[in-house]
Chains A and B, each alone.
Chain A
């Protein structure tokens, strides 16, 4: 478990980091929590020439909520911060549910939400959550800042839309227009295992009527799956056994799982259906808005 030789830099500002990445010319990797990158280095699956450690960058370890309800998560905000967050506990049930089941406590102490989005593992939980919530990533590079909607940010398995000299500095969840509801469920063989299958559901409601819905799936395709048809089936009406069943069916149809040692394709599809149904059934109870 000995990595290949690499150069290590720990810049003190985002500009410096961007300059280093620019010099690296595509042979550099950004190190944040390191919970995915360091194992890849040790297995020599990744052998970058330059490692740009952003852990010394000031002011990126935040997560906060703007006056309008927009939630912002900085690049150095750890999973553990989100797990203990009162902001998420009171305002964002889908994120709060996911934060409790990210990997294991040791990984949660170091790993970051933004890093997880950048890693773009099809079995990563946060990409599904941010997809369901319609969030975006803010990147900073040599040519300035830009916002990249999550659907365009994750471009494939372990691939993202960042240019080689860009650093993802923040993930943003837009302000909701109604009350929020939702949840995240995943099946794993053991704490810390990659998901056999997972489902994120995020709703905005006006009274009993669903005004916005997002459903995204973890671990059941070559990339995070946006089950847009399933979500669409919920919008414009109340949650009923009928609409819940229809959405669950459509979510299962959207899944593209493969049979592997975590389970058969049919089983994973069934789990997606079961989880979407369970989350929606739970939030349909008037006293429950989280699952």
Chain B
């Protein structure tokens, strides 16, 4: 008879245990960077450029120095004397720390004032006079590529235009041949607007350089502390072992806290110069106008189709607006990230993609806002294209997708651009979604409603996305390979501490990592404390973004637990006085195979590791595991939305949203569902209200929460969630990433639904956000509405 523990009861895999971190968060006892106060700490504020493109003739800081309480004023010129006016980006470009020659976007960092308190520092910023000479401004790729366009990056040798790269992938000839065979070619052109990850906590740092020990401690809003330690060691040429990054509680990241920002660098230099701790906390406007934006890509493409609905080929082009510095935070060897993961869930025999990146006078960043690098754009275009093609064919949009899905028995599947997808049940997910939304009933209701002048629409979006960079063959950051490590130490009483090189920012690692250990070792999850974020104590890791933590760090957690279990097995053999080959494992317990009632618990093994180890065995029960994943994981999501459009105002209301997610084995279903609901809300935000745009002078519209809108509980639709489980064939516990699926797949469901509602007008596309006036314009003018919303065009 088994004495195995009930896995759900001990908080193992599949247990929706409450998040342990919430205990402190809901009590207001979190510890964020801005909560940390060090003795003698000074405060830094940044003076930012009001202009988008201007030459700096002079900077006069003398008035700022005169203000009592101002300790230091730093400009680009002074940074340059220490070779710190510029820094390398994660995409092999350079970025200004503080501007020397020119400012290249509105909000660019021009000077920093360090003072006794932040009010004085702000007064100091206001006392600085900068003489700017305005230059022509570029705010989109067309302007950037126009003949005679002003050169934004005149600081770079051999840069004679505003093009950063031209890149292509796929089979051009094969694609051309397939198009020649097509019965029908369907076309689509769209813009994915610039958005911002906009974590509630902005970026910040406290640099604390101690001259006596030569140690530099940096409290940092970091999604990737080890990566930041490496970057700071390389940029500031400081010895890596003397740098300690502490990433305490993080108030959301969404990709925004992966890059290195000028504020971090200047606060470090200021602390070294002043030998006092220097705190920099960004304000919301600073965060929105200067830190890593997302998207801002123009995509067009065409699909070659056979009249029975079979896709023959895809041809695509992307123009990507990278802002003033190419600082995309993405680790692949591909210039435009994983954009070419597009159409991964469909059987597309031939495809070709070209991409061009350009500089503009806008903030740099190109972070993966809750997505694997550029996958959001890839899947949005894919699912908008699928709808347009289905309409052109006159085919039901669900049937068109089903007909072209990669089949369940066709894995691993080589995608048209060379990725290898691992597993999935795409048709089943779609069926579950259609059933849940009541597809055929809704189509009838839609026809009925039309007779009364009401506009109902249904939108489907289905996608698989590559999550969990790397493997180390294809993914690195500045040459540092993408893998993760976990370290597990079991104490003598059977309690344990687990550390990883990932960094939770809301994902719930403190809860879920313990569940993986509970699954592997049978220790109750509540007996395992999880610690991340301190580079002096955490094992190496590349941080948390791109839904990579469960695929990589989570796998390392399982692997380190297995290493510990292997040693515990030796201890069990010793305690049971049998040979290792004669014992078996059930959850929480080793037992003698021939005599199952004789066994020892994992806790007894832990005690023996400190008190009763066999001769010659190294004491203790701990280990570290490095995990280099063999492949990305490929979760699948199918999102279906129904809407009603008010024909008099263009206002659209969401009626129902169904999400079917297959993220493999779910560690904590409650947390997975929370991730999906959050992702859907962000998807709804981008499709309905959210964007950052610029006027002709490069002024940023979207620089605060009155202009850059986050949906509240009032606007957010309700969601109905369903699951299908196809375990990852290569992940140790069969899990796949999930944190970003709904953000990636969701927007097309909402947009497709609105387009479906008004498609009798012949309208094929309205670019996001689908603000009521844009929908109304499409409805009444019967034309597509493209590009970013206008900014004061009739002045």
Contacts and interface: CB of A to CB of B under 8 A. Distances in A.
B118 A2 contact: yes
A5 interface: yes
Contacts of B689: 189-190
Interface of B: 45, 118-119, 121-123, 126, 283-285, 648-651, 688-689, 693, 701, 706-707, 709-712, 714-715, 771-773, 776-777, 789-795
A264 B771 CA distance: 11
B738 to A, nearest CB: 27
A85 B45 CA distance: 45
B122 A189 contact: no
A274 B122 CA distance: 47
B794 A259 contact: yes
A261 B794 contact: no
Interface stretch (A75-83, A153-161, A191-199, A217-225): A191-199
Contacts of A268: 773
Nearest to A258: B794
B771 A189 contact: yes
A183 B772 CA distance: 22
A271 B649 CA distance: 7
Contact of A263 (B118, B119, B710, B773): B773
A267 B709 contact: no
9 contacts: A43-B285, A189-B772, A259-B793, A260-B792, A263-B771, A264-B773, A267-B777, A270-B776, A274-B649
A163 B766 CA distance: 50
B767 to A, nearest CB: 13
A270 B792 CA distance: 18
Given A187-B651, A267-B776, A267-B777, A192 B712 contact: yes
Contact of A191 (B715, B790, B791): B715
Nearest to A5: B119
B794 A265 contact: yes
A104 interface: yes
Contacts of A152: none
A2 B119 contact: yes
A145 interface: no
Nearest to A264: B773
A44 interface: yes
A192 B118 CA distance: 29
Given A191-B714, A261-B693, 19 more contacts: A1-B284, A2-B121, A43-B285, A104-B712, A104-B714, A187-B772, A189-B688, A189-B771, A190-B710, A193-B706, A193-B709, A258-B795, A261-B701, A262-B771, A263-B771, A263-B772, A267-B650, A267-B772, A267-B777
A262 B119 contact: no
Interface in A140-188: 187
B754 to A, nearest CB: 15
Contact of A44 (B126, B709, B714): B126
Interface string A257-290: 0111111110110110010000000000000000
Contact of A262 (B45, B284, B773): B773
A86 interface: no
Contact of A194 (B693, B706, B795): B706
Nearest to A267: B773
Contacts of A190: 689, 709-712, 714-715
A1 B288 CA distance: 14
A268 B777 CA distance: 12
A5 B117 CA distance: 12
Contacts of B795: 258
Contacts of B771: 189, 262-263
Q: Is the interface of B mostly helix, strand, loop or mixed?
A: loop
Interface in A83-129: 104
Nearest to A42: B283
Please provide the 10 A-B residue pairs with the shortest distance between their CB atoms, ordered closest to farther.
A263-B773, A267-B773, A191-B714, A2-B122, A259-B794, A1-B283, A2-B119, A190-B709, A261-B789, A189-B689
B236 to A, nearest CB: 28
B338 to A, nearest CB: 31
B203 to A, nearest CB: 14
A271 B772 CA distance: 10
A245 B787 CA distance: 34
Q: Which residue, A44, A192, A265, has most C-beta atoms of chain B within 10 A? A: A192
A191 B712 contact: yes
A4 interface: yes
A264 B778 CA distance: 13
A2 B707 CA distance: 20
Interface string A221-232: 000000000000
Nearest to A106: B712
A258 B771 CA distance: 16
Nearest to B281: A1
A274 B701 CA distance: 28
Contacts of A4: 123
Contacts of B648: 274
A262 B715 CA distance: 17
A111 to B, nearest CB: 14
Contacts of A189: 688-689, 709, 771-772
A268 B650 CA distance: 12
Contact of B707 (A44, A261, A263, A274): A261
A261 B126 contact: no
A270 B647 CA distance: 12
A270 B118 CA distance: 47
A261 B702 CA distance: 10
Contacts of A194: 706
Contacts of B711: 190
Nearest to B695: A261
Interface in A1-39: 1-5
A262 B701 CA distance: 11
Contacts of A192: 712
A235 to B, nearest CB: 26
B773 A260 contact: no
Nearest to B791: A261
A34 to B, nearest CB: 16
A47 to B, nearest CB: 10
A187 B790 contact: no
B792 A259 contact: yes
A271 B651 CA distance: 11
B715 A259 contact: no
A4 B124 CA distance: 11
Contacts of B45: 2
A208 B183 CA distance: 65
A90 to B, nearest CB: 26
B790 A259 contact: yes
Nearest to B651: A187
Contacts of B693: 261
Given A261-B789, A263-B773, A187 B709 contact: no
Contacts of B709: 189-190, 193
B714 A261 contact: no
A270 B701 CA distance: 24
Given A189-B689, A260-B790, A196 B712 contact: no
B682 to A, nearest CB: 14
Contacts of A3: 119
A3 B648 CA distance: 44
A191 B773 CA distance: 17
Contacts of A196: 772-773
Interface string A33-55: 00000000001100000000000
A271 B709 CA distance: 21
A261 B790 contact: yes
Contacts of A43: 285
B121 to A, nearest CB: 8
B714 A187 contact: no
